[in-house]
Amino acid sequence: MSWVGGKKALRDEILARFPIEYSRYIEVFGGGGWVLFHKQPQNDFEVYNDFNANLVNLYRCVREHSDELIDMLRYTLNSRLDFEYVRHMMKTRTNIPDVRRAAYFYQVIRQSYASGLDSYGSQPHNMWNNFPLITEACARLQPVVIENKDFEKLIRQYDRPESFFYCDPPYYDTENYYPDVSFTRDDHERLAFSLCGIQGKFLLSYNDCQPIRELYSKVGIIIESTSRLSNIAQRYEGGKQYAELLISNYDTTERARSIAQLTLFDTLEASQLLLKERKIIWNSTIIQ
């Protein structure tokens, strides 16, 4: 499903930079789960986490009550009046059962403008087309641990030498786009402090801005610049790119280099092509 800040456009680049060896995979800011669902299930221990309780409840219901959730969504009305009613119910203190709350939340995501959860999108949408996706997501989430924790506590709980954390936090100066979650500038600093002291490995995606560059320009850290299509801007300016940073505490070329060593041909695999033009901004103590 679409989600504010979702990584649909960058998921291939992100997966190409995954380390070769890890046995614990933790998505600290899971959001719409674009990376988790794009990642092939392996024998690794997987954790999905988000601080948005409604989002976590949705994924738990998809995993544990998918048939009941689909039945509740079957006759959803795609109308402004129904959208406003459901959105109002989500904001009240009414005690709503978990599956119904999940259905309400999913309806708001699907019917809101740009999945912003705020205004009605006024777009045709057949909810029934989503049912096979919910069923597939149910199967994919069966072995996944779903958490609803503050990122610092989560990182501390799951950190091991064999752990790999993928982090996609609310971007700097865009924190107000994420409903139901408070993320301050102090939290950006707290995240940097947590990640730079872990035993395991991390890969972090951010918007490209000077405060984040300065925050992570530390020994043992690699900062790389990239870009992706700006989905919303495509409506007004085709091909518009959005500058991003990929930050890590390990060599993100190791997977591509291992493929190069295994192939007998002189052609580049997809992962190598993605890394070929990468631009390093900071590598340990050397600025390029």
pLDDT value at 235 more than 80: no
Using CA atoms, how far apart are residues 127 and 82, in angstroms rounded to an integer? Answer: 14
Print burial letters for 83-113: b (CB count within 10 Å at least 16), e (below 16). Answer: beebbeebeeeeebeebebbbbbbbbbbbbe
* pLDDT score recorded for residue 118: 87
Q: Considering only CA atoms, which of 4, 110, 6, 101 is closest in space to residue 56?
A: 101
**CATH of region 11-51+149-287:** 3.40.50.150
CB-based contact 17:254 (threshold 8 Å): no
The stretch 59-67 carries a mean pLDDT of: 98
Please determine, for residue 32, whether its predicted confidence score (pLDDT) is greater than 80: yes
Mean pLDDT of 90-95: 88
203 vs 184, more confident: 203
Say how far apart CA 256 and CA 230 lie, in whole Å.
26
* Whether pTM exceeds 0.85: yes
User: Using one digit for the tens of pLDDT, what is the confidence trace for 145-196?
Assistant: 999 999 999 999 999 999 999 999 999 987 666 556 678 889 999 999 999 9
Give the per-residue pLDDT at 258.
74
Which segments of the chain belong to CATH 3.40.50.150? 11-51+149-287
